[in-house]
Structure 1
Amino acid sequence: MCGRYTLLRDEVEILKEFGINYSIDSYTPSYNVAPGQNVLAVINDGREKRAGYLKWGLVPSWSNDEKIGYKMINARSETVHQKPSFKSLLKRNRCLIIADSFYEWKKTDQSKQPKRIQTADRKLFAFAGLWDKWQDGGRNLFTCTILTKDANDFMQGIHHRMPIILPKDKEDEWIAPIEMDPSSAHDLLQSIQVDDLKAHNVSSYVNAAKNNDSTCIEPLIK
């Protein structure tokens, strides 16, 4: 799964990396992005790529209660094309969720050890995501979920699931402003080979979502 991540690169780097032609409204770096918070995402509206914020935790348009979002921060890519909650979103509501590392907790005999995980060669990357618009009276809520898959060889020693990090050459394909057959989208996700990763232990300080400073990412030296 993916339950926390970071985005620390400056705005200019993000704009250049993802081909965005205008500034990001209220951009704020974060050492500890958590479910329920607003997260930076990129979509293609058919004219250009747009960057903005979505609330992390998908609330489907048909839902009666926005609290469902806390149960839908991740979606399993293996079955996403079969589930009503996600199937229609695969057709058009695909997004990039921008990050530069993520956290995962490795079970030990005594506790769970948090680790910060980065790509070996890229300073910025994008998770494959889905988004939706939920309405309640006159209020609009835009939310998202991160797609996950079985852990690769590197991640298996840490956790059995991992977020899908899109290769650079698949980012535009994922958010292309076309209707994609859900089965084709599923096949694309399953074909992705994740970048080489690296990881280091960090303090349990990161466990609390309220903690958001450089202490979260400092290597833990024992």
Structure 2
Amino acid sequence: MCGRFTITRRDGNSIAAELGVPADSFVDYRPRYNLAPMQKHFIVRIKYENREVIPATWGLVKSGAKDASMAAKCINARSETVEARPAFRDAFQKRRCVVPADGFFEWSGPKTARQPAWFHREDSRLVLFAGLYEAWQKEPSVWETTFTIITTAANAVVGQYHDRMPVILADRDADDWMDPRAADPLALKRLLVPAPADLLIATPVSPKINNVHNDSPELLEPAGQTLR
């Protein structure tokens, strides 16, 4: 699964450049070191053949929902069943996105002493999670965009901590995934596979990450040997 992630770049302009979106896409950007479900982030979608960044809340709420009571249960969607489950079926057909990040967390050890590990690229480049999005009417005349992150079987590195991981798309595949005019969305399931084992490293980090209210750079200071 994916229950927390990061995007730690200090400069929103560098994110815009890497994503291929306008520089003013990140006017209100701030780094996040412990982003949790039900919190605000942003997604990238295709609109009129161009990439567009829009704000969104983590936890998918279907467009016709009367409330967000199911959002916490829809932070992840399993790649194996995403096209069939009622919660995700419509979004899979029409509203596919990517969720920019630069790492995510998994935990090991007993419940009383959970040790988090930060999975990230050694070159510090972004990772693009495959996602789905929806917009629902939160209150009269107020619409909120929400998203979920698609997961798949873990690769060899993540598998030392958990049996699932977020789907990470290569940049060349991201546009295919996001294309709302794709003639056969089911064919895109070929992209929903584990990342190459050499893409990520795992760095043990501060247990203070276990508290969702903590969100500062020192959370990512190494607390053990990095796994490759």
TM-score surpassing 0.5? Answer: yes
What runs of 5+ residues in structure 2 fail to find an aligned partner?
none
Do 1:90 and 1:181's aligned partners in 2 also have CA atoms closer than 8 Å?
no
Alignment-mate amino acid for residue 132 of structure 2: L
Matches within 5 A, 1:139-154: 139-154=142-157
Query: Aligned residues: percent identity?
Result: 36
Give the counterpart of 1:98 among 100, 111, 114: 100
Whole-angstrom distance in 2 between the partners of 1:110 and 1:70: 23
1:88 paired with 2:76, answer no
* Correspondence for 1:206: 209
1:9-45 per-residue CA deviation (whole Å, 9 max, x = no partner) reads 1211111111102412411111111111111211111
Single out whichever of 82-91 and 171-180 deviates more from structure 2.
171-180
Whole-angstrom distance in 1 between the partners of 2:135 and 2:197: 29
RMSD of the TM alignment (CA)?
2.0
* Correspondence for 2:159: 156
Distance 1:35 1:110, change over 3 A: closer
Do 1:203 and 1:220's aligned partners in 2 also have CA atoms closer than 8 Å?
yes
* Correspondence for 1:12: 13
* Correspondence for 2:222: 219
Q: TM-score, normalised by structure 1?
A: 0.92
Single out whichever of 194-203 and 140-149 deviates more from structure 2.
194-203
Do 1:89 and 1:132's aligned partners in 2 also have CA atoms closer than 8 Å?
yes
Whole-angstrom distance in 1 between the partners of 2:196 and 2:84: 22
* Correspondence for 2:119: 117
Do 1:20 and 1:51's aligned partners in 2 also have CA atoms closer than 8 Å?
yes
CA displacement at 1:221 relative to structure 2 = 4.5
Alignment-mate amino acid for residue 88 of structure 1: D
Q: TM-score, normalised by structure 2?
A: 0.89
Do 2:134 and 2:147's aligned partners in 1 also have CA atoms closer than 8 Å?
yes
Q: How many residues are paired up?
A: 222
Alignment-mate amino acid for residue 153 of structure 1: A
Do 1:6 and 1:31's aligned partners in 2 also have CA atoms closer than 8 Å?
yes
* Correspondence for 2:181: 178
Whole-angstrom distance in 2 between the partners of 1:150 and 1:163: 8
Alignment-mate amino acid for residue 69 of structure 1: A
1:35-67 per-residue CA deviation (whole Å, 9 max, x = no partner) reads 111112111112421112100000011323212
Do 1:57 and 1:71's aligned partners in 2 also have CA atoms closer than 8 Å?
yes
Whole-angstrom distance in 1 between the partners of 2:214 and 2:70: 25
Distance 1:172 1:179, change over 3 A: closer
Whole-angstrom distance in 1 between the partners of 2:73 and 2:111: 28
Alignment-mate amino acid for residue 149 of structure 1: T
* Correspondence for 1:131: 133
Distance 1:175 1:11, change over 3 A: same
Alignment-mate amino acid for residue 4 of structure 2: R
Distance 1:177 1:108, change over 3 A: same
Secondary structure of the structure 2 residue equivalent to 1:53: strand
CA displacement at 1:180 relative to structure 2 = 4.6
* Correspondence for 1:61: 63
